[in-house]
Amino acid sequence: MAKQRKNKVTKYPVFLHINVGLIFFAFIIIYVVICVFTYFSKKHIVGYEVREGALSSNNIYEAVALRQESVVTASNAGYVNYFAPEGQRVAVGNLVYTVDESGDLLDYLKTQGTEQASLTDEDLSELRSQIVNYSADFDPKSFSTVYDFKSSLDGTVQKLASSSILQSINSLNNNAGALQSINYCYSQGTGIVQYYVDGYEDLNINNMTVDLMDNTKYERTQLISNALVGVGDPVFKLSTNEDWMIVINENDLDKVKALAEKEYIKVRFLKNQDEAWGKVSYVTNDAGDTFVGLSFTNSMITFVKDRFLSVELITEDESGLKIPNSAIAEKSFFVIPKEYVTKGNNNNSGVLRDKYDENGNETSEFIEVELYNESDDSYYVDDDTLRNGDIIIKPDSQDKFTINNKDTLIGVYNINKGYADFRQIIILYQNDEYAIVKSNTNYGLNVYDYIVLDASTVEGDVKNLDTSEEN
């Protein structure tokens, strides 16, 4: 009988094989991820170099320029050609334009090959300057100014061409038929010539309206050479007085009264950064809109071609150390009497704090403190080294003072020494972005000091600073 053999399976203990290197590497990866996350989620301290500068209490407005302007109309119908340079002064009797009644002059000049004008270097320089100035002031939001520029450029080109035509006319004395149809028109007054009309010629501050202040609704007619004019049509105008005015719309009556109280305001013209003092006046119309006028006695010719001007009213102008508002912070300090502050062995300022030794005997210890400000009889001391309720002893006396009085100072965090140290500032003037602070003050800032750009990044005694800087 065959004996059936049973299979016997024996279990061996299973040992857990741990790869120590893999675990160590995983911990390193986790640590690096945590460090990177902490670095990018934490606010870093960025330095800012203090420089001298100035701030103005600035108000930027779009102003309308008002001048004494006299519009001259045509006494003959025909094709007009201009010869007096626009924006320049003419005297009584100077030739301003001609009117060709027949229209045959241009055809005659073409047959003689003299209708083409050659420009001198001075003429080309004038055109170049006009293009460069427009390019510098171009605003994509005000695209309508492109058409004004085109018309102005056409006028300049036609004026330069007309000068050449005038020379040709004078050389055509042998052609009496062509010359008899030309009327020479001379200036009857003295002033600055302008070759455009816009309906603002008789405007003054008393009849100003809000719609007239809107440059998007402004329309001007450029008067150009070779245009056909009828009797009574405007052909040019003269600005006859150097006195002129700009008008702004300001409905804040408190601001208007503040401007009026100053009587004269410094105005910066943003077109060329020129500055002038304007005499203040203001009126309020029946609609309740208030208009402020600033009158000048010079510089009219500089802006004679402009009806709208961007201006800046400078009501304050302070100079000192210029710092960003983000760097300004407030910090609390203990206020202690001056007579309780003494000098230590290293000539450092400090106080004698009352304490008791192990045996219960009363004694004192010297606590070094840094002074952040002072008044007539007190010092401002950091609350990091002293505690509320500490008792300090007056030197060479038994008088004691309990520290419990605090006050707040406005300042910035100085980082010249590699850590954030509070420094008090005295603000002379401040706008939305920057402040001008007094320089060379005790416990304050000096030019070229480095401060924390964003005071909110300082938490307690921060020591590790970002290496990035801003000027």
What pLDDT, on a 0 to 100 scale, did the predictor assign at position 166?
A: 62
What pLDDT, on a 0 to 100 scale, did the predictor assign at position 65?
A: 93
What pLDDT, on a 0 to 100 scale, did the predictor assign at position 463?
A: 42
Structure tokens at 329: 């912070």
Structure tokens at 19: 């790869």
CB-CB contact of 237 with 194 (8 Å): yes
CA distance 127 to 424: 55
Instruction: Compute the average pLDDT of residues 448-454.
Output: 88
pLDDT band at 277 (very low <50, low <70, confident <90, very high): very high
pLDDT at 146 > cutoff 70: yes
C-alpha distances in Å from residue 162, one per residue of 64, 117, 238, 471: 31, 8, 20, 54
What pLDDT, on a 0 to 100 scale, did the predictor assign at position 465?
A: 47
CA distance 38 to 19: 29
Structure tokens at 23: 């675990």
CB-CB contact of 274 with 222 (8 Å): no
Task: Tell me the Ramachandran region of residue 449: left when phi exceeds 0, alpha when psi lies from -120 to 50, beta otherwise.
Answer: beta
CB-CB contact of 195 with 224 (8 Å): yes
CA distance 64 to 328: 39
Condensed to tens digits (0 to 9), the pLDDT of residues 197-251 reads: 988 998 999 999 999 988 888 888 888 877 888 999 999 999 988 899 999 998 8
Instruction: Compute the average pLDDT of residues 428-436.
Output: 83
Condensed to tens digits (0 to 9), the pLDDT of residues 60-100 reads: 889 999 999 999 999 888 888 888 878 888 899 888 888 88
Instruction: Compute the average pLDDT of residues 316-325.
Output: 80
Higher pLDDT among residues 426 and 429, named by residue: 426
Higher pLDDT among residues 355 and 13, named by residue: 355
CA distance 324 to 125: 43
- Which segment of 45-54, 89-98, 110-119, 462-471 scores lowest on mean pLDDT? 462-471
Condensed to tens digits (0 to 9), the pLDDT of residues 350-404 reads: 888 888 877 778 888 888 888 888 888 899 988 777 888 888 888 888 888 888 8
Instruction: Compute the average pLDDT of residues 25-34.
Output: 85
Condensed to tens digits (0 to 9), the pLDDT of residues 84-142 reads: 878 888 899 888 888 888 766 666 656 555 445 566 676 677 777 778 777 776 767 66
Count Cα neighbours of 452 within 13 Å in the Cβ-side half-sphere.
30
What's the pTM value of the predicted model, to 2 decimals? 0.54
What secondary structure does DSSP assign to 350-400, as a single string? EEEEEEE-TTS-EEEEEEE--EEEE-SSEEEEETTTS-TT-EEE-TTS--E
CA distance 415 to 427: 20
Instruction: Compute the average pLDDT of residues 36-47.
Output: 73
Map residue 31 onto helix, strand or coil: helix
